[in-house]
Homo-oligomer: A and B are copies of this chain.
Amino acid sequence: MPVDLDLIRRLSIPAATKVVLCVLDGLGGLPGPRGRTELDEAPTRHLDRLAEGGALGQTIPAGYGVTVGSGPGHTALFGLDPLRYEIGRGVLEATGIDFPLEANDLAARGNLCTVDASGAITDRRAGRVATAITAEIARTLATIKLPGVEVFVRAVQEHRFVLVLRGEGLSEALTETDPQREGVPPLAVRATDPGAERTAALVNRFIAEAREQLRSREAANHLTLRGWAKRPQLPQLPELWKLRAAACTVYPMYRGLARLVGMETIDGGSTLESQFAALRRHWEDYDFFFVHYKPTDSAGEDGDFQRKVQAIHEFDECLPRLLALEPDVLIVTGDHSTPAVMAQHSWHPVPLLLHGRHVRPDHTRSFSELECAQGGLGTFPATEVLPIAFAHAGRLAKYGA
């Protein structure tokens, strides 16, 4: 479901309007114990009022039936075809810890693991070793010297870390070393195209030296690497839309995703209240604001129905601080659904609310999955969210005479 970027470049025009995209991560849900969804159960008087004055719809992130991760979910919301513009796991992990990836950097997601005397994996997650220990190991691994390449190793959480190699001519065409099961040793890296032979050799040398460093440990004495990726060259929102765009997120991964499409970032502290305060401080500096709210997804992933209800309620209670800024166009939606009863991301369409000038009213009176499925905006690809928002903000000129 690609949006036509050449058309956007041709038609987009600057304007004095302000557009805000609020992403409640994992917003869509499914009925819980009382037969109602998280969004049904949550008291949402402010969202309901916006729904009544605005219009609802539901989005498909990447395709019917396709469950997406945060990467493609946001890529789509930023108006880019998530099937065309893939963001590798290594890059996602690096952006998730605010690591400033450069254009030629090669990133991988690493796991510390535990192997026995024969080298076979006994625990793929090294007993979920403490993050502090992983950080200490990362500092040691970062001392490994490879010819012509800088090595960065950073702890993420528990057994997870990021490896970044910086240098010319590195290739992401590499196999993964995680055999995805225990009882066998980690695999060697192989090049999947001839241009990656040198990179494969460098990585295997890194692995060998790392194994020597870790050999004396009882647990977390080896590692696996996967998700080889370089920073993708994504179309940049400021150039596409002729505007200044800012991301205000608590979690670094979402800041990183926003940076990949050319957004600047503004420091919003750790609460929604402080995020909206940051928007107020920077209101004149930007035309478009992306606000990311994580608690809905965290609760959904934990299968905690009530906590997700509460997270939605808290968003709603805080919303007047944003409305006080009087954005010309406001979108409230999610990057994918995360029904608490599934305790994971799902493929279900994502509720969307559009409010602003010239929004054509529909029948809807409250913000819920049921109402969104009946909304005047219909069911549409998530890639169309920004074109719709910017049209309402007077930022798209007419096509043809």
Contacts and interface: CB of A to CB of B under 8 A. Distances in A.
A183 to B, nearest CB: 23
Interface string A348-378: 1100000000101111000001100111111
B65 A384 contact: yes
Contacts of A269: none
15 contacts: A3-B63, A4-B63, A4-B83, A31-B361, A64-B380, A65-B388, A67-B397, A67-B398, A70-B400, A71-B400, A348-B358, A349-B378, A369-B376, A374-B374, A377-B379
Contact of A92 (B344, B369, B398, B401): B401
Number of copies: 2
B399 A68 contact: yes
A277 interface: no
Contact of A67 (B30, B363, B399): B399
Given A67-B398, A400-B68, A401-B69, A373 B369 contact: no
Contacts of A342: 358
A379 B374 CA distance: 11
A346 interface: yes
B68 A398 contact: yes
Contacts of A64: 380, 384, 387-388, 391
Contacts of A31: 361
A347 interface: yes
Interface in A157-192: none
A370 B56 CA distance: 12
A343 B342 CA distance: 46
Contacts of A73: 400
A86 interface: yes
Nearest to A36: B361
Contact of A339 (B92, B358, B391): B358
B83 A7 contact: yes
A334 interface: no
Contacts of A375: 373
A66 interface: yes
Interface hub of A58, A62, A361, A369 (most chain B Cβ within 10 A): A361
Contacts of A397: 67
A255 interface: no
Interface residues of A, number: 64
A294 interface: no
Interface hub of A69, A89, A390, A400 (most chain B Cβ within 10 A): A400
A263 interface: no
Nearest to A31: B361
Interface in A69-86: 69-73, 82-83, 86
Contacts of A376: 349, 369-370, 373
A344 B401 CA distance: 12
A391 B69 CA distance: 15
B384 A373 contact: no
Given A87-B400, A396-B67, A370 B361 contact: yes
A391 B68 contact: no
Contacts of A308: none
